[in-house]
Amino acid sequence: MANKVLVVVDMQVDFITGALGSKAAQSIVPDVVKKIEEWGGHIVYTVDTHWSNYASTLEGKKLPIPHCVHGTDGWKLHPSIAEAFQNKFVRELEEVRKRTFGSIVLADKLKTLLCEESGLDWDEFELCGLCTDICVVSNALILRASFPNVPITVNSRLCAGTTPEAHEAALATMRSCQIDVIQE
């Protein structure tokens, strides 16, 4: 089996049907569930995690919409995504809680998993999730910097941005950073 990792970014209630939800985000859920169900390797997923002091953070001042506050219903994985994870046997299922858009902890966790597998390198990372123009692009670029020789793919059909224009702009940015953008 290939040493591939699926990175599912922020498929949480608040980004799908909650405070920052959108029809575009809702529309990708069934296909992300299918991807999880069909995936045969490692899966790592991120959860945006804020605290009650969100309004006083830089992000909270620039985006004054409380979301993904730890312990709230909006912070939880979307029920269909959570069910897909529960029903799926995967070699590794790792959660990464992140306080902001991108997560250095994600890259560190992948380095740790790699050591445990005693392989030389990952074969590929594939990313999907929300939001293309904020968290997906941030994490893809952190992975690009952390693993310069590992192919990274973003499945644009399994992502949604804050707007269609922002989604396309983020995909263009990722392409320019040698991240493969596919539509499968």
Q: Residue 42's pLDDT is what?
A: 85
Residues 56-87: tens digit of each pLDDT: 999 999 999 999 999 999 999 999 999 999 87
Q: Residue 96's pLDDT is what?
A: 86
Binned at pLDDT 50, 70 and 90, residue 118 comes out as low
Mean residue pLDDT across the chain: 92
pTM of the model: 0.93
Binned at pLDDT 50, 70 and 90, residue 1 comes out as very low
Is the pLDDT assigned to residue 114 strictly greater than 90? no
Domains and CATH numbers, the chain: 8-182 (3.40.50.850)
Quote the CA–CA distance of 98 and 75 in Å, as a whole number.
12
Is the pLDDT assigned to residue 149 strictly greater than 70? yes
